[in-house]
Chain A
Amino acid sequence: MKLNFLLNKRPVEVEVDPRRVLLEILREELGITSCKEGCGEGECGACAVFLNGRLVNACLVSAVMAEGAEVMTLEGLMEETAHIRDAFVAHDAAQCGFCTPGFVMAAYDYLRSGGDPSPSAIRAALDGNLCRCTGYRNIIDAVADAAGGKK
């Protein structure tokens, strides 16, 4: 099928097999590599993107659902997420870095909604993201810091 959608505010058109998912289309056809395939079944959040303004796992978004949609990836949100990425660096919240874009996207989604910056609320807000090396404490500290810096 021919797929048309807005990618980081620019219209794109790609020919895709409707069995494919948005993550594959972004990475393999459109050169968007911030979103990564960790589990491929919606458990790890490494492929988080915004679909029509909502945080989703791109590995679970059928190509059919992307038709006509507005897709934002971390590449298109560098300015908006700068304070979060800086906080991740400051708190050593990345080790291998594979999960980091997904965490930054989830943290950005939470903080822009005016979410409570307490550690327990941040933990709950990041319930869809897994990290297998740094551990979560530095990540939660970074998000709390980013929340404070934004105020």
Chain B
Amino acid sequence: MNVLVPSTLAGALEMAAEHPTYALLAGGSDIVPALKKGEDVPGLISLGKLEELREIAVGENEARIGASVSVAEMMEHRELMERFPLLHDAAQVFGSRQIRSVATIGGNIANASPAADLVPVVLVLGGMADIAGPEGKRSLGMEELIGSYRQRALKPGEIITSIRLPLGPWSGHYYRKIGRRSALNIAVASLAAVAKAREDEGWSVRLSGASLSPTPRRMLHAEALFLSPGILSHDAVTRALKQDIEPRSGMRGSAEYRLRVCANMVMEFADALGR
């Protein structure tokens, strides 16, 4: 297996364009187990020396988080955590202490797993992945970036360089991850949500979750139920979610269980908003 260690982003882009089958190595918490299981990876391009991918900048309107920033580094950035309480809550229950040391925001997204913890968080916040490549730079939202099951819409030679999160008008948030155990769990289902009170006493909310659909998406029908100020019923939420999510049965839970637990989480969020 060939290993390339570029020292500049420009060098990394050249190498990625020249070797489109090579895997990018950031924190390694997904790729190393895959290598151990014998996955055929012809080569690695390590992103470890690219300092520009490790920066966090919190501006007036948005935060820019380098793709190689680890979950632990995000948690230590007080301003980032204060401005994005949803990201804070998700980071607390991401992997374990040891995994948070290495796992990166860019890697969690680029791995394109339906169970990725940070994808629904970035999605409801309206975040974008900044991408650099042979044809220049572009940005994609989570739904476009992971348009089909476990596939990223990246062209050969393209690298995710940072994640941008707009600050947004949110006054409420919710994050919960349901797993088989309380520590170090892979989501059986999770819900990430933000809310803004409306003048008519309804709420504008955005809802998304992990392990509920093959690709990232918002729960638009369930979101619409929050707009009017009436009381939400579990039945109405479940009916809406049936149009919003495509849960599958797998070794960690059945489709029925995932739908039900998702509805429970939406109701818990609604309760917290006084609905």
Contacts of B33 in A (CB 8 A): 41-42, 60
Asked if A38 is at the interface of the complex by the 8 Å CB criterion, the answer is no
The interface-forming segment of A4-12, A48-56, A76-84 is A48-56
Q: Is the CB of B97 within 8 A of A125?
A: yes
* Minimum Cβ distance to chain A for residue B91 (Å): 13
* Chain B 87-113 interface mask (CB, 8 Å, partner A; 1/0): 000000001111101100000000000
C-alpha spacing A64/B1, complex, angstroms = 11
Query: What chain A residues lie within 8 Å of B31 (beta carbons)?
Result: 62
Q: Are A64 and B44 interface neighbours, CB within 8 A?
A: yes
User: Which chain A positions have C-beta within 8 A of B25?
Assistant: 62, 64-65
Nearest B residue (CB) for A41: B33
Flag B174-192 by CB within 8 Å of A: 1 or 0 each.
Answer: 0000000011100000000
Contacts of A60 in B (CB 8 A): 28-29, 32-33, 98-99, 102
Does B224 have its Cβ within 8 Å of any Cβ on chain A?
Answer: no
User: When A18-B3, A21-B32, A61-B32 are in contact, do A42 and B44 touch as well, CB less than 8 Å?
Assistant: no
| Chain B proximity mask over A55-71: 1 for CB below 8 Å, otherwise 0 | 11101111011010000
B97 touches which of A51, A65, A128 (Cβ 8 Å) = A128
A43 within 8 A of B: yes
Q: Is the CB of B98 within 8 A of A55?
A: yes
Which of B1, B5, B28 lies in contact with A19, CB distance below 8 A? B1
> Is B36 touching A40 in the complex (CB atoms < 8 A)?
yes
In angstroms, Cα B33 to Cα A121, docked, is 29
Q: A40-B36, A61-B32, A62-B25 are in contact. Are A18 and B1 (CB under 8 A)?
A: yes
A56 to B95, CA, bound (A): 12
What CA separation (Å) do A61 and B98 show in the bound complex?
Answer: 11
Q: Would you call B36 and A42 a contact (CB within 8 A)?
A: no
Main secondary structure, interface of B, reads mixed
In the complex, A99→B28 CA distance in Å?
A: 23
Is B264 an interface residue when CB atoms closer than 8 A count as contact?
A: no
Give the distance in Å from the alpha carbon of A54 to the alpha carbon of B75 in the complex. 13
Pick the most buried of B35, B48, B97, B102: most chain A CB atoms within 10 A of its CB. B97
Residues in A with CB closer than 8 Å to B48 are: 64-65
| Cα A100 to Cα B165 with chains together (Å) | 40
**B72, CB-defined interface residue at 8 Å:** yes
- Expressed in whole angstroms, the Cα–Cα distance for A52 and B221 within the complex equals 47
A55-B97, A56-B98 are contacts. A64–B46 as well, Cβ < 8 Å?
Answer: yes
List 25 contacting pairs A-B, 8 Å CB cutoff, sorted by A.
Answer: A18-B3, A42-B99, A45-B98, A51-B101, A55-B97, A56-B101, A57-B99, A60-B33, A61-B28, A62-B25, A62-B28, A62-B44, A64-B5, A64-B44, A64-B48, A65-B25, A65-B46, A65-B48, A67-B5, A106-B98, A127-B97, A127-B182, A128-B95, A128-B96, A128-B98
Inter-chain pairs besides A56-B98, A62-B35, A128-B184, 20 sampled, C-beta below 8 Å: A1-B3, A17-B1, A19-B1, A41-B33, A42-B29, A54-B70, A54-B72, A60-B33, A60-B99, A61-B28, A62-B25, A64-B5, A64-B44, A109-B97, A125-B97, A127-B184, A128-B95, A128-B96, A128-B98, A129-B96
